[in-house]
Structure 1
Amino acid sequence: MKQRLTNLALIFFGLTVLNPSVCRAGKPNADRPNIIVILTDDQGWGDLSINGNTAIQTPNIDAMAQSGAQLDRFYVSPVCSPTRAEFLTGRHHVRCGVYDTSEGGERVNPDETMIGEVFQRAGYQTAAFGKWHSGMQYPYHPNARGFSEFYGFCSGHWGNYFSPMLEHNGQLVKGKGFLVDDLTNRAMEYIEQHQKDPFFIYLPYNTPHSPMQVPDRWWNRFKDLELTQDHSKKGSEKVGHTRAALAMCENIDWNVGRLLSTLDELSLANNTIVLYFCDNGPNGSRWNGSMRGRKGSTDEGGVRSPLLIRWPAKIKAGTMIPQICSAMDLLPTLTEMAGVEVTGTKPLDGISFAPLLSGSSDGRQDRTLVHHWNGKVSVRTQQHRLDHQGQLYDIPSDPGQREAINEQQPGVVAKLKQVADKFRAEMLVDFGKQFDERPFVIGHADAKRTQIPARDGIGHGNIERSNRWPNDSFFRNWLSVEDSITWDCKVGKTGIYQVELFYTCPKADVGSTVELSFRESVLTGQITEPHDPPLTGMEHDRYERMESYVKDFKRMTLGNIRLTKGQGTLKLRAVEIPGSQVMDFRLMLLTRIDQ
């Protein structure tokens, strides 16, 4: 990404920018609150009973609002990785180099300072459990971004939610049970282990993102449930998908309840900030208030998220915040609440709403937020939204964006159109995949292991992906010595690396000789053991998926290769194929062995 994205003016298109040189007074560690941030994946504003959904019961999440604060108009981005970037950095996702949800476009530029780093420097124990989706290899990996403990997966979605392959601080491991339950268990264990120290836990759940998988305990209540609540998209609703999504949300609520109970049992609840929000609008046409838009849309329903925040020691029960706020506000808000210094960050686009939580006015003027995705730009003020087609709506009276008021409010239209035009001119120039000059990093100096998945590679010749959505896909149809897989990459440190492959191959096709090369280095090895498991995942799906099915890939050592620091192309090809194919390829794991 060109450097100009990080050198824009400090105040632009109506967003107020904080001065990073302003430090907040520190507090002794004993006085600092613990912090838990829960982020769900593809859950809409309307997928909570507290917001009026009559088909679902979310008593534990609802109780967070009743015993703490609820932000009535809180906004995120239309899709997942941009929202994560904005929460983690306090800055607009376009500034951070995020332009896609896979193949490298989800990575947050390494020169951005993340919220984990800020709290880590302040003496907090920091951990992330779940879907990272902000980069896999160092320096984008969560362990490189301020989180000492990481358990989960780094891709945009995962293909199996029952005991899948996961990662624990760089090591590939097998999960235990249903993934959301497993992640919550890890968080609870971490709280118990670090109860005497201030901790910052980021808990990005992977549901209700597809594949639509949930244990019987929650599915059984919904599998035959009649959905009677009316909404504008009722005619196009996929009822089975909605039932699965709501069942997954009730499972999330149960896990939130377990987490809160752990805090109570350890007498930590009073001084622990627990925050709950979603990454975008709902991943289906289902009830979402009367708002227009869903996931992927810059309309109200695509970017409005619940935000519930509980801190019994400081936040009055039942607090309601009507001012519009953003995911970008969370870094400055949480650091102010915790008395943590903000140093080393670039100028923040977020504004702390901590004063609003204490009943004070923060003195802000009419706020302007710009929402962007896939070239579409929408502008939101406290009263109005200008959609990507230039139509103006009065949101409090018309949340469904049904009646444009351009003729009645030409001055507002002109003002917000100017904001949108300035955003396009200053932020979207040199933005996108065609301008991404960031290679994938192998063997970063601070990382012993590097995952190199099919997701980040390019298949040549006959080779094809198992699915159009790359995140949890594998390469198949490897038929010829002319076929290859390549990665444009950069070796961060010269050294000897052990190469492991994750593959499948039927018995009749065993024996292919494959070659891995990078610049002048070459490693040759052979597929000697058959491993031909079936595709799986469909047995757990409650609704037909769009994403790839998965396999139980076999792990084998190909050998050792010496890689020299520098940029180049990593290439995997076959030099001999005795059968009809080489293998199905999921990933490589490179481990530096000459420490």
Structure 2
Amino acid sequence: MYCTMSLLYVKVLFSALCAVVLAHNKQPNIVLILADDLGWNDVGFHGSNQIPTPNIDALAYNGVVLNRFYVQSTCTPSRSALLTGQYPIRYGFQVMPILHGENRYLPLHLKTLPLHLKQLGYATRLVGKWHLGHSYFNNTPIYRGFDSHFGYWPGAIDYFNHVADGGYGMRRNLLTSWSTQNEYATHLFTRKSQDAIIEHNYKKPLFLMISHLAVHAADENQLLEVPDFAETNKTFGYISDHRRRLFAGMLTELDKSVGSVCNTLKDKGVLDDTIIIFLSDNGAQNTEMGYDNAGSNWPLRGMKATLFEGGVRSPAIMYYSKAKVKSAINSQLMHITDLMPTLYVAAGGNVKDLGTIDGVSQWGAITQGDESSRSSVLLDIDDFHPHSSLIGYRGRYKLINDSVINEFGQDGYYGKDTSPTKNPPYDVDLVLASPTNKAINKRLTKKKILTIRKKLTIQCTHKGTRPKPCDKNGLCLFDLVNDPCETENVAKKYPHIITDLSKQLLSYWKILKPQDKHFTDTKSNPIYYNNTWSTWMEHQ
């Protein structure tokens, strides 16, 4: 009898210990929110008073701001780097986004982040933009690791009618989603994301990637689209530039979306078990480049499609309630290729299983305050023009070989300072009362908010909007620690650093896969496929 009771006690104790271990090692859910063309100066937590972003700001102040987080300068390369953990130069995806109707796609041999997470037991969902190819079925999201996709395959669509260059773009997996036409895209993607969170069975962890259209320009007919034009003009009447005013309305809807997602996670009871990442795929585009969406990277130099800070330094945040480090700023060097190994480690995986990648796990650096193993970042190499850039010396020095993509004619434009006296003061109470902050409910204070915000506000002395370009026959070197706005070329002062970083760049040239020429396949024309963007190569 005594032995039987002892054995029963041991079994009960063992079961209890196993339950504790399983609870401790529970895989976190992951919600990755990717904004499109959002600039450094478009969010309030970087010091801008012009457009309130209380939900995004609340996520930043409660979490960890990744203050030196770099991305590719355009959308397709950034998205490919995120999902593969590899620099786009390795597979010919550098510089140029995929054109509408271009038969180019993420190479099929590359294993994506959602595929890796599926092997760890995750359910994987994508809502929103893809932009990594759709000429064949096997180029599309549900063949590249996502269990489901609601969104669009091309680079951009109209916010209301969901049309791009004559073709309807909205899809539910492989099927055209006509029933959702005319619903404002940001609202639609928010609703679909909330559905994914609510309907998920949390016996399996969830990876949800929310890839917004906002704040990208729509199309040539109406670049900047808001749900209520009159309300936007009323709310942001203090902004004199009507384009910037519309942009503010678009950004407001994106900010509300972040709040809605956080609130839904709380209502479902899984917020504390969820890692939330927020970032932009590249810097803002503005008045001097193509589709002007009136974004701002001030006071950083450059814009989308340039290798200056304004084009490649992203507003980025990670929030996780169980992280040791909270309400903090991490200024260590990070790159978008790091997201795959970082999240894989967070999910319980071993980085060695990912094979050859350029990303490094930043999980310990972000959540524990460990020192990052990353010492340099390749920003890009354009083998067509050519131009290239690399950051070395643990993030201090940036080498640029030729300024930017030449056909855009950019030479490091600063944009406009958005801090005139007409802007309202920064509203800390709005941040505290935001749905995001209420959902997190970690007793954030006004003092803490203002202290963090002050540290995040970059102050530069430049006044003009047209800095001297890098010499097309030479090099530019910037000290990003002392001169984050890239106002002074210090190449002549530090020839040894130029030599060192040039050698590093040369090593990447040796592994670069040349880009294919970019052109639209006439056979992709939507008129052949019921006026929709289709997997046209399947019909050849």
1:15-54 equivalent positions in 2, closer than 5 A: 31-54=26-49
1:182-193 equivalent positions in 2, closer than 5 A: 182-193=188-199
- Say if 2:214 is the partner of 1:214: no
CA gap 1:301/1:222 in 2 versus in 1, 3 angstroms:
farther
Partners in 1 of 2:43 and 2:65 — Cα distance?
Answer: 13
Partners in 1 of 2:24 and 2:208 — Cα distance?
Answer: 16
2:206 to 191, 199, 207: 199
2:368 to 356, 359, 378: 359
1:325 to 322, 331, 334: 334
Partners in 1 of 2:199 and 2:92 — Cα distance?
Answer: 36
| Partner in structure 2 of residue 457 of structure 1 | 521
2:237 to 224, 234, 258: 224
1:74-93 equivalent positions in 2, closer than 5 A: 74-93=69-88
| Partner in structure 1 of residue 511 of structure 2 | 426
2:184 to 171, 178, 184: 178
| Partner in structure 2 of residue 257 of structure 1 | 259
CA gap 1:60/1:195 in 2 versus in 1, 3 angstroms:
farther
Partners in 2 of 1:501 and 1:474 — Cα distance?
Answer: 5
1:384 to 397, 415, 419: 397
- Say if 2:148 is the partner of 1:149: yes
- Say if 2:64 is the partner of 1:64: no
- For 1:387, give the aligned amino acid: I
CA gap 1:105/1:274 in 2 versus in 1, 3 angstroms:
farther
- For 2:521, give the aligned amino acid: G
CA gap 1:380/1:591 in 2 versus in 1, 3 angstroms:
closer
- For 2:260, give the aligned amino acid: R
SS in 2 for 1:78: coil
- For 1:215, give the aligned amino acid: P
| Higher RCO (CA-CA < 8 Å; seq separation 6+) | 2
User: What's the offset of the Cα at 1:388?
Assistant: 2.6
TM-score (norm 1): 0.65
| Partner in structure 1 of residue 122 of structure 2 | 124
Q: Give structure 2 stretches of 5+ with no counterpart.
A: 1-20, 219-223, 288-294, 403-474
Partners in 2 of 1:125 and 1:280 — Cα distance?
Answer: 27
Partners in 2 of 1:44 and 1:179 — Cα distance?
Answer: 20
- For 1:407, give the aligned amino acid: K
Partners in 1 of 2:190 and 2:117 — Cα distance?
Answer: 21
1:73 to 68, 74, 81: 68
Partners in 2 of 1:409 and 1:339 — Cα distance?
Answer: 43
- For 2:133, give the aligned amino acid: G
- Say if 2:297 is the partner of 1:288: yes
CA gap 1:432/1:79 in 2 versus in 1, 3 angstroms:
same
User: What's the offset of the Cα at 1:56?
Assistant: 0.6
The C-alpha deviation readout for 1:243-301, integer Å capped at 9, x for no partner, is 22222111100011000000111111101001000011101155423211100001111
- Say if 2:501 is the partner of 1:501: no
1:278 to 269, 275, 280: 280
CA gap 1:202/1:334 in 2 versus in 1, 3 angstroms:
same
2:112 to 103, 111, 114: 114
Which has the larger displacement, 336-345 or 163-172? Answer: 336-345
Tell me, yes or no, if the aligned pair for 1:122 and 1:341 is still in contact at 8 Å.
Answer: no
Greater fraction of residues in helix: 2
Partners in 2 of 1:146 and 1:587 — Cα distance?
Answer: 20
CA gap 1:198/1:331 in 2 versus in 1, 3 angstroms:
same
User: What's the offset of the Cα at 1:159?
Assistant: 3.2
Tell me, yes or no, if the aligned pair for 1:333 and 1:351 is still in contact at 8 Å.
Answer: yes
| Partner in structure 2 of residue 268 of structure 1 | 270
| Partner in structure 2 of residue 582 of structure 1 | none
CA gap 1:336/1:501 in 2 versus in 1, 3 angstroms:
closer
Tell me, yes or no, if the aligned pair for 2:65 and 2:329 is still in contact at 8 Å.
Answer: yes
Which has the larger displacement, 314-323 or 275-284? Answer: 314-323
The C-alpha deviation readout for 1:106-146, integer Å capped at 9, x for no partner, is 52110000001011121111100001001112321100111
**Residue correspondences, number:** 418
| Partner in structure 2 of residue 490 of structure 1 | none
CA gap 1:283/1:140 in 2 versus in 1, 3 angstroms:
same
The C-alpha deviation readout for 1:56-101, integer Å capped at 9, x for no partner, is 1111111111111111110000100000000001110122332432
CA gap 1:170/1:363 in 2 versus in 1, 3 angstroms:
closer
CA gap 1:269/1:415 in 2 versus in 1, 3 angstroms:
same
CA gap 1:587/1:289 in 2 versus in 1, 3 angstroms:
closer
- For 1:161, give the aligned amino acid: F
Tell me, yes or no, if the aligned pair for 2:127 and 2:149 is still in contact at 8 Å.
Answer: yes
- For 2:50, give the aligned amino acid: A
CA gap 1:161/1:94 in 2 versus in 1, 3 angstroms:
farther
2:93 to 89, 93, 98: 98
Partners in 2 of 1:258 and 1:167 — Cα distance?
Answer: 23
Partners in 1 of 2:86 and 2:349 — Cα distance?
Answer: 18
| Partner in structure 2 of residue 348 of structure 1 | 357
- For 1:420, give the aligned amino acid: L
User: What's the offset of the Cα at 1:331?
Assistant: 0.4
Tell me, yes or no, if the aligned pair for 1:29 and 1:198 is still in contact at 8 Å.
Answer: no
The C-alpha deviation readout for 1:126-177, integer Å capped at 9, x for no partner, is 1000010011123211001110110111111113434664111101112251
Greater fraction of residues in strand: 1
- For 1:289, give the aligned amino acid: W
CA gap 1:143/1:30 in 2 versus in 1, 3 angstroms:
farther
Tell me, yes or no, if the aligned pair for 2:137 and 2:535 is still in contact at 8 Å.
Answer: no
- For 1:385, give the aligned amino acid: K
TM-score (norm 2): 0.72
Partners in 1 of 2:58 and 2:47 — Cα distance?
Answer: 14
Q: Give structure 1 stretches of 5+ with no counterpart.
A: 1-25, 228-238, 437-454, 460-469, 476-499, 504-552, 554-585
User: What's the offset of the Cα at 1:317?
Assistant: 2.3
Tell me, yes or no, if the aligned pair for 2:279 and 2:314 is still in contact at 8 Å.
Answer: yes
- For 1:144, give the aligned amino acid: Y
CA gap 1:74/1:590 in 2 versus in 1, 3 angstroms:
closer
1:397-416 equivalent positions in 2, closer than 5 A: 397-416=482-501
SS in 2 for 1:372: strand
| Partner in structure 1 of residue 158 of structure 2 | 159
SS in 1 for 2:41: coil
Partners in 1 of 2:278 and 2:497 — Cα distance?
Answer: 33
CA gap 1:139/1:255 in 2 versus in 1, 3 angstroms:
same
User: What's the offset of the Cα at 1:342?
Assistant: 5.4
The C-alpha deviation readout for 1:421-444, integer Å capped at 9, x for no partner, is 3323431xx51124x9xxxxxxxx
Partners in 2 of 1:37 and 1:172 — Cα distance?
Answer: 25
User: What's the offset of the Cα at 1:214?
Assistant: 1.5
Tell me, yes or no, if the aligned pair for 2:239 and 2:245 is still in contact at 8 Å.
Answer: no
Which has the larger displacement, 46-55 or 357-366? Answer: 357-366
SS in 1 for 2:137: coil
Partners in 1 of 2:24 and 2:126 — Cα distance?
Answer: 21
Tell me, yes or no, if the aligned pair for 1:83 and 1:279 is still in contact at 8 Å.
Answer: yes
User: What's the offset of the Cα at 1:308?
Assistant: 0.5
Partners in 1 of 2:37 and 2:201 — Cα distance?
Answer: 31
User: What's the offset of the Cα at 1:377?
Assistant: 0.6
Partners in 2 of 1:28 and 1:135 — Cα distance?
Answer: 40
Partners in 1 of 2:537 and 2:70 — Cα distance?
Answer: 39
- Say if 2:290 is the partner of 1:298: no
SS in 1 for 2:316: strand
| Partner in structure 1 of residue 453 of structure 2 | none
SS in 1 for 2:207: strand
Partners in 1 of 2:159 and 2:47 — Cα distance?
Answer: 31
